[in-house]
Amino acid sequence: MGDLWYLALAYGVIWVVLLAYLYSIARRQESLRQEVKALEEALEGESEAEEETGEAEHFLTLIQGEDAPREGPARARSAGRGRRDSC
Amino acid sequence: MRVVAAPSNLSLTGAGNRLHRALLWATLAAGLLALYMAFVYAPKEATMGDVQRIFYFHVGAAWTALLAFFVVFLGGLAYLRTRDRRWDALALSSAEIGVVFTTITLATGSIWAKPAWGAWWTWDPRLTTTTVLWLIYVSYLILRSAIDEPERRARFAAVVGIVGFVDVPIVFLSIRLWRTIHPVLVKSEGFEMAPGMVHALLVALLACTLLYAYLLLVRTSLERRRLEVEAAKRDLGFY
């Protein structure tokens, strides 16, 4: 094998190792991005559930007065937990 | 509605971040110049021929690895002093990059050894101490992945990073302390090379250092954002 073959092999190894490391960083970034997206979706779901129960609570207050039972928020929280656990 | 500070900058090049971009362009420019100088500008070595051109990036990678492990050492000390996990993120990032550059050093050294010494590997003091260094920091990364509790993981890693650094001066001094077949480039009189080779080497060192700084910036940002996501999940009761 000539000198140039060893030279090409050495520089090839440098490129392969560096590109493999860059690829591993890119993969971890993508994985983190997916995690953030899932987190945001879970939070959006929770806030929607809280808004819905807030409206129901307001309606109950209107028709039954201030003493109306307030089960909504607890139910919403448990719904939110369910979403979190699935994340 | 609860608001979570979502990590905003997750791109590899750090779009929108001026420092990322400036460092990326500086690294690319220095890298291209270093390649030109290694392959065109530097004269052909009289006895080894073109295979000696491996030397420029072999030394560049070795220098960068030692620099990276010095940053691991500093990051470990700073973490033990402040218990701020951002220092741990810096040390982890630098250790990873140091292992990458040590791998390049060992691989290119072995490829160069075959035509120069007639063997892919020899248990020369420089090669042996560098292999030990590589093993120490691979163990550092394995240790981190084996401990679940974040504070404990950071504390253990800081200690290993500090103790492991003891091998760095040994690697540097190995060719001066023991009999070796590894070339000694820098002597008290200066570089033992033609001026063209010295210029090419200095540009390669600059390119490798810039590449290290860029990779460290990207990897540390990723690690810090991972910590932010972890903290947000903990605050929201996901754990």
CA dist., res. B172 & res. B202, Å (int): 18
Beta partners for B187? B190
Both tokens assigned to B113: 């050894």
How far the first Cα of chain B sits from its last, in Å, is 20
Chain B interface mutation, best of A1, A4, A32, A48, highest count of B Cβ atoms under 10 Å: A32
Secondary structure letter of residue B43 according to DSSP:
P
Q: Which of A26-30, B60-64, B193-197 has the lowest mean pLDDT?
A: B193-197
**How would residue B5 be classed by pLDDT, with cut points 50, 70 and 90?**
very low
Contacts 24+ apart (CB under 8 A), A52-56: A52/A76
Those residues of chain B whose CB sits closer than 8 Å to some CB in chain A are 1-2, 4, 6-7, 10-12, 48-51, 53-54, 57-58, 61, 96-97, 100, 103-104, 107-108, 111-112, 114-115, 211, 215, 218-219, 222, 225-226, 229, 232-233, 236-238
Neighbouring C-alpha atoms within 13 Å toward the C-beta of A21: 24
A59 in contact with B at a CB cutoff of 8 Å?
Answer: no
User: Are the C-beta atoms of B69 and B228 separated by less than 8 Å?
Assistant: no
* Residue A40 CA from chain centroid, whole number: 5
**How would residue B30 be classed by pLDDT, with cut points 50, 70 and 90?**
very high
Q: Which of B15-24, B45-54, B155-164 has the lowest mean pLDDT?
A: B15-24
CA dist., res. B177 & res. B229, Å (int): 48
3-state secondary structure (DSSP) of residue B62 = helix
3-state secondary structure (DSSP) of residue B2 = coil
User: Are the C-beta atoms of A67 and B21 separated by less than 8 Å?
Assistant: no
**How would residue B10 be classed by pLDDT, with cut points 50, 70 and 90?**
very low
* Residue B82 CA from chain centroid, whole number: 24
Chain A interface mutation, best of B32, B51, B64, highest count of A Cβ atoms under 10 Å: B51
A25 in contact with B at a CB cutoff of 8 Å?
Answer: yes
CB pairs under 8 A between A and B: 95
CA dist., res. B140 & res. B129, Å (int): 16
CA dist., res. B71 & res. B217, Å (int): 13
**How would residue A65 be classed by pLDDT, with cut points 50, 70 and 90?**
low
Q: Which residue of B has its CA nearest to A47?
A: B1
How many structural domains does chain A have?
1
Domain that holds residue A39: 3-85
Q: At what angle do helices B85-117 and B195-235 cross, to 10 degrees?
A: 150
CB atoms B7 and A32 under 8 Å: yes
What's the mean pLDDT in B154-176? Answer: 92
pTM above 0.90? no
CB atoms A6 and B58 under 8 Å: no
Q: Is the pLDDT assigned to residue B208 strictly greater than 90?
A: yes
**How would residue B94 be classed by pLDDT, with cut points 50, 70 and 90?**
very high
Instruction: Give the contacts of A57 (CB within 8 A, at least 6 positions apart).
Output: A68, A70, A72, A73
3-state secondary structure (DSSP) of residue B118 = coil
